[in-house]
Amino acid sequence: MKLPDEAFVSRVRYDAIGVAGFIIPWNYPLLMAAWKVCPALAAGCTLVLKPSEYTPLTVLELCDIARKIGLPAGVFNVVCGTGATAGAPLAAHPDVDKVAFTGSVPTGAAVATAAAKGIKPCTLELGGKSPIVVSDKVDIDKAVEWIMFGIFVNNGQVCSATSRLIVHEKIAEKLLQRLVEETNKIPIGDPMDKELQERKGVIGPLVCERQMDRVLGFINGATKEGAKLLAGGRRSSKHKKGFFVEPTILLAKPEHTVWKEEVFGPVLAVVTFRDDKQALKLANESSFGLGAAVLSDDKAQCEKFAQGFQAGIVWINCSQPTFVQAPWGGVKKSGVGRELGVWGLDNYLSVKQVTTYVSPNAWGWFLKEPTSSKL
């Protein structure tokens, strides 16, 4: 790079940051591993990865594939266990130079605290309570499909799920009627069922009984607080085995717990709005800031919301598209840093300045007259 003093030239080089420690969740075990493993290896790092105790098999298979294709021993390592026995020691280990975590806010805070004690960089993706604003200037059928996809894909076990529907009061009745009709048609069943695999929209089981009980607890708590149940709301009566919860829609209020806290299940909370100012206020009144969506045929209105949303990811006339070329991450309690694209690669690179003195003359700091010598 050009410097103001021609006696020097300077360049920047990027070095692998060192050993990366990863802790990933259970909802997308292979995808979450790839988002971290691939840029770390590309940067030249070695890594230690702790999968969720609920879903370790895909990560173990990935590690075995890496071994079979010739990745040197010790480059890609997997340690299994609980957060307390494996995750916490990994984040705090003095030989780990970088930590990346995806999961809940409380665990993320603990990981960040452990990393901070070692003054090591930490990337956190901590979930969300993403809003989806639906204008009255919209095709209702298209809106209904994106609303459903945004909350029911992967059974609602998505950190960026648009779980808060903010719909204009002019179209609320008509849209909710269509939304409930289509939601009640979603098949519930074993994702390994070949017939269901041919369907795009299917509700499978939640990851475990504990998670099912948590989701049902949010639903029951919402109705006790006064939310109106429009669809679903129960454990599926058709499946004695498996932790199936019906896709659920609740007409809520901003003060309801189900509106404020992340459920991580197929549960959509709905409120209505009168004008854009109110809608944006409702969207941003959250401790999370991962994703946000707006559905409208008015381009200027969409741009206004895109600028006003307090979120790291904004979707216009869609919900949940994810591309590895684009940055992924949030603001507020949704985390710190970005993954994917060049931003994800930067997480595992250390920037080094290299400056060279190129003048043939002595620097002259303590010599009165610059001197030169010849061999």
**Rounded Cα–Cα distance for residues 208 and 240 (Å):** 14
The values of phi and psi at residue 152, to 5°, are: -100, -15
Considering the candidates 45, 122, 159, 302, report the single residue annotated as catalytic: 159
In sequence order, the 6+-apart residues with CB closer than 8 A to the CB of 32 are 24, 25, 102
Q: Is residue 96 a contact partner of residue 348, using CB atoms and an 8 Å limit?
A: no
Enclosing H/E stretch for 301: helix 299-308
In 106-241 the beta strands, taken as DSSP E runs, fall at: 122-125, 131-134, 164-168, 228-231
> Quick count: other Cβ atoms within 10 Å of Cβ 12?
10
Considering the candidates 122, 125, 246, 339, report the single residue annotated as catalytic: 125
Catalytic: 159? yes
Catalytic: 125? yes
The number of angstroms, rounded, from the C-alpha of 295 to the middle of its chain's C-alpha atoms is 21
209 HSE (CA, 13 A, CB side): 2
Residues annotated as catalytic (active site), given as ranges = 125, 159
